[in-house]
Structure 1
Amino acid sequence: MASATKETGEGIETTTMAASPTDDTPRSGVFHKLSNSASSTEALRFWRSKKDSSQEFSLQERDTISSDERNPDVENGTSTEYRTYKRRWFGLVQLTLMNIMVSWGWLTYAPVVDDSAAYYNVSSSAINWLSTAFFLSFVAIFPVTLWVLSRGFKFGFICAAVLLIVGNWIRYAGSSKSSGGIYACAMVGEIFIGFAQPFVLATPAKYSDLWFTHRGRVAATALASLANPLGAALGQLINPLWVNSSKDVSQMVLYVAIISTACSVTAFFIPSKPPTPVGASSETPKMPLFPSIRTAIRSLELWLVFGTFSVYVGLFNAVSSLLNQILVPYGFTDDQAGIGGAVLIVVGLVTAAITSPILDRTKHFLLAIKIIIPIVAACFIIFIWMPQTRGLAGPYVILAIIGAGCFALVPIAVEFLADLSHPISPEVTSTAAWAGGQFFGAIFVIVSDPLVAGSDADPPKNMKKFLIFQAVLAVAAAPLVLVLGWFGRKDKVILRRLQPRQEET
């Protein structure tokens, strides 16, 4: 792209010329004409003042041929062209793949808990502790994640790739023999995979803010964020097919390690940032890390969304980890429990694929959250009695609704947090929210152990008490987000990234 400036009797003409079409060539050039020197000075002052006050321009202030992807900033007789780049999809696909494999690594053992326990010669509770260690690893490393991501997401991608590869091969090092495995290696490997998770799970909001315009951020965040539970669905479906007895656990761990390595090596080649900003909000200076944290801590609205999101993510994680142990005592097979986990996730993915583009256009984030939360809470109550039916229809239907609600909630809540907290960098709120979800997930899995019924119960080892515990938490957390915007605080729930554009239009 080249710019040509010439002085005429009428004033200054600045033309931005597009180069020959390439992969990243903008759709068209931008032409500005300032009628005379006096009006030129006034115009420049006007544009500067608009940028200083809002960091974004209205649709009327853009050329009619521009979108917010090509928003001109006129200063000193030059023009800056906002545009999106096709290479953004490479990074988004990479982020999606790594989120899939991190989650698959988490649920490697849970779908085949009995065979895994026999292979490592430990109890089922010890296998549950692998999931707990995974959750707590996120919580332990998330302050480091904040620091790394505040300096650019590419280094975070590389850290995630290294940790994911190393963690998987440590697990296989202790599982290479079909006769039995080393539990300590499985635990250390699970911790490494848990360390990798925050670098990719907390990144989608930051990545979409940097590479996508406001018209595509929710969809981009949804694709990368929801890839995480997709990995869990693949683990629930595929791992039981690989394991027919305890000796097959070794090859299952090997297969997951190979796939994880293949999906991670390309992380070293993703671009760190677009050559030019894709829109005005993406180049708005973000607050430094520690001022961001101080500002977020003082916001009641952020705490309310954070609390609800964390509890519901924790409940989802607990159900995913323990679904086999919830259903099997009532006569369900490992395969049927695995299909139930897949229903939970696949229906959720389909729902999110439908709702995310709609909410990208409407921006009714708060309304959607207030509709979804009560529905999911009601389903957790109903699920208390579903395993007792000993039929597939009841549990599968309720799991499908829970999955649909939770999956639709994830990208909405992440983007809503980013909008409420702007100009705080999005990775601050998203990392903290996900860390809260992992922390509660770990607590819920730990609490589940003493809530398991005894061997003399009907049926033995059932988890009805835990299902009641889950339902109580779901109902208790729901009012937190339902009161958002009440008591004269409606101005506290505005979408700050869109506010300047709405005011100007």
Structure 2
Amino acid sequence: THTHTHTHTHTHTHTHTHTAMMWITYAPISDLVAEFYGVPQSVVNLFSVSWSILYLPGSALHTYVMAKRGVRQVVLLGIAGTALGGVLRTLGSLLVDAGTIGTLPGYLMTLLGQALAGLVQPIFVNGSAMIAAIWFGVEERDLATAASSFCSPLGSALGQFIPPMLVSENDDGDVEGMTLLHAVQAGIALVGFVAVLVAFAEAPPTPPSRSTELRHREDRGTMAATDVLRTAWGMLRDQQFQILLWSFGVGLCMFNSLMTLINEYTAVEGYSDNDAGIFGGIFLMMGLVGVIAAGVVMDATHAYRAIFKTAFVLAIGSLLFLIVALRPGQFAWSAVAFGAMGCVMLSLLPIALETAVECTYPASEEISAGMLFSIGNIFTVGCVYFMETLIKLHDDYDSTVFTPVNLALLAFAGVAVLPALFYSGPNR
């Protein structure tokens, strides 16, 4: 049983990590991507924003296929879509490199591939708590959820570090390495597809508990769309789940927007593409530390309410630290501030997921997770372009750290933290 569990966990970790890496790939090199495809930088942000736009329909697809076909088939669909998206992105950059039909067709092909990968992203993100419940016992569930949540920041960190290493501008002013970057990521996705095809099982040979076996056997093949909608509507009527939904949704919106705009956000303070990649990587790598710490503390105490509230209070403190530290010529302090903020903000991933499971039990884990991530991604769509507009006003407010974009971030943090302090949902 342990061998099957470990093989399954490694396979899911690989696919989930790679998906996160594809999402954030263009953020640290957005100026070079704009130059390569001959489009404005705001259009480049659509590569990331498209994932937020497609999150809700992707969640619906995940829930439907999961109910009708089960875990193995839904994960296979996810990695197949990711691999095909990676191939289309590679073809798009090859069209630009060929230089025979202009850059627009290449951009559109790349956007199509990115959107396809974004459509299947919820299969990996929403399934974290569900996978933990199917494959692990109650005593291991919190750590398993944290381990799965670990994949998103790890993949995003790689997506921040690697692109500036492969993509650069040569002496003639031409952007090089875009096709190599796409080809590497497509190759990793294809390896993941083969791994899922060969090694990913529907369920462990021995279920972790009888109740888990019965519940998931009942869910599969019987959960119609009306059942999902009825369950979701019941959650939305729960005042405590509304608090979770709002606070986590705003927090996720801040994270997505900051990671998407990290190049532009740091460039106005005089930092380069490489610096932006380092800041983003540090944010996410320290986020891994936060995720692990959250998993250990939850596993030891099961004090979900207290942990949830504490993490949100620490998050607003870390944001203030970042705002004060991110100034020209303060690379070291800026890096420390990004790390502190990442450690706190990303710890909220497993905390919120497990708190939602406790709050909505016995509802299916992927429904609560899907709703949490969907609302955050819906908020992200408008927030990215709103923050981008505020960043462009930086020069008019250069004498203060409280620039329009930083004031907006503080406002977002405030409206997320305040309701979280009143959360009093059950621990079952």
| Deviation for aligned residue 1:380 | 2.1
| Deviation for aligned residue 1:236 | 0.8
> Partner letter of residue 264 of structure 1?
F
* Aligned with 1:283 (options 199, 209, 213): 213
Per the alignment, do residues 179 and 382 of structure 1 end up closer, same or farther by CA in structure 2, a change over 3 Å counting? farther
The aligned counterpart of 1:258 is 187
Contact 2:322–2:341 (CA<8 Å) still a contact in 1? no
Contact 2:268–2:394 (CA<8 Å) still a contact in 1? no
Alignment of 1:454-469 (within 5 A): 457=396, 464-469=403-408
Contact 1:178–1:249 (CA<8 Å) still a contact in 2? no
The aligned counterpart of 2:56 is 139
> Partner letter of residue 163 of structure 1?
G
Per the alignment, do residues 129 and 463 of structure 1 end up closer, same or farther by CA in structure 2, a change over 3 Å counting? farther
Deviations 1:155-187 (A, max 9, x none): 210110111011111111111153665110111
| Deviation for aligned residue 1:120 | 0.2
- From the two aligned structures, give the one with the greater helix fraction: 2
> Partner letter of residue 403 of structure 1?
G
- Find the aligned partners of 2:67 and 2:146 in 1 and give their Cα distance: 21
The aligned counterpart of 1:91 is 8
SS in 1 for 2:60: helix
2:373 aligned with 1:434, yes or no? yes
> Partner letter of residue 274 of structure 1?
P
Count of matched residue pairs: 405
The aligned counterpart of 1:420 is 359
* Structure possessing the higher radius of gyration over alpha carbons: 1
> Partner letter of residue 191 of structure 1?
A
Contact 1:104–1:232 (CA<8 Å) still a contact in 2? yes
Q: State the TM-score, normalizing by the size of structure 2.
A: 0.89
Per the alignment, do residues 463 and 127 of structure 1 end up closer, same or farther by CA in structure 2, a change over 3 Å counting? farther
* Aligned with 1:319 (options 227, 233, 258): 258
Paired-residue identity, %: 23
- Find the aligned partners of 1:165 and 1:436 in 2 and give their Cα distance: 26
The aligned counterpart of 1:301 is 240
The aligned counterpart of 2:172 is none
The aligned counterpart of 1:310 is 249
Alignment of 1:169-208 (within 5 A): 169-176=87-94, 177-178=96-97, 181=103, 182-208=106-132
> Partner letter of residue 156 of structure 2?
A
- Find the aligned partners of 1:211 and 1:482 in 2 and give their Cα distance: 32
- Find the aligned partners of 2:234 and 2:67 in 1 and give their Cα distance: 16
- Find the aligned partners of 2:395 and 2:143 in 1 and give their Cα distance: 50
2:80 aligned with 1:162, yes or no? yes
SS in 1 for 2:138: coil
The aligned counterpart of 1:223 is 147
SS in 2 for 1:330: coil
- Find the aligned partners of 2:149 and 2:318 in 1 and give their Cα distance: 23
More moved, 308-317 vs 436-445: 436-445
- Find the aligned partners of 2:148 and 2:394 in 1 and give their Cα distance: 42
Per the alignment, do residues 86 and 448 of structure 1 end up closer, same or farther by CA in structure 2, a change over 3 Å counting? same
SS in 2 for 1:98: helix
- Find the aligned partners of 1:265 and 1:459 in 2 and give their Cα distance: 51
* Aligned with 1:125 (options 42, 52, 55): 42
> Partner letter of residue 43 of structure 2?
A
The aligned counterpart of 1:373 is 312
> Partner letter of residue 212 of structure 2?
S
> Partner letter of residue 139 of structure 1?
L
| Deviation for aligned residue 1:463 | 10
**Greater RCO, 1 or 2 (C-alpha within 8 Å, sep 6+):** 2
| Deviation for aligned residue 1:359 | 1.4
The aligned counterpart of 1:342 is 281
> Partner letter of residue 237 of structure 1?
F
- Find the aligned partners of 2:402 and 2:177 in 1 and give their Cα distance: 28
Gaps of 5+ in 1: 1-23, 25-84, 486-492, 497-505
Contact 2:311–2:344 (CA<8 Å) still a contact in 1? yes
Per the alignment, do residues 450 and 210 of structure 1 end up closer, same or farther by CA in structure 2, a change over 3 Å counting? same
- Find the aligned partners of 1:427 and 1:401 in 2 and give their Cα distance: 29
Per the alignment, do residues 454 and 365 of structure 1 end up closer, same or farther by CA in structure 2, a change over 3 Å counting? closer
Contact 2:270–2:328 (CA<8 Å) still a contact in 1? no
The aligned counterpart of 1:69 is none
| Deviation for aligned residue 1:137 | 1.3
- Find the aligned partners of 2:420 and 2:211 in 1 and give their Cα distance: 27
Deviations 1:359-383 (A, max 9, x none): 1121011111111101111222343
- Find the aligned partners of 1:124 and 1:255 in 2 and give their Cα distance: 24
2:201 aligned with 1:271, yes or no? yes
> Partner letter of residue 53 of structure 2?
L
Deviations 1:386-443 (A, max 9, x none): 3334311332222112111122111111011112111101111011111122222222
SS in 2 for 1:285: helix
Per the alignment, do residues 311 and 455 of structure 1 end up closer, same or farther by CA in structure 2, a change over 3 Å counting? closer
2:132 aligned with 1:213, yes or no? no
Contact 2:153–2:287 (CA<8 Å) still a contact in 1? no
Gaps of 5+ in 2: 170-174
More moved, 167-176 vs 389-398: 389-398
The aligned counterpart of 1:244 is 168
- Find the aligned partners of 2:421 and 2:398 in 1 and give their Cα distance: 38
SS in 1 for 2:390: coil
- Find the aligned partners of 1:208 and 1:105 in 2 and give their Cα distance: 24
| Deviation for aligned residue 1:241 | 0.5
> Partner letter of residue 126 of structure 2?
A
- Find the aligned partners of 1:91 and 1:192 in 2 and give their Cα distance: 24
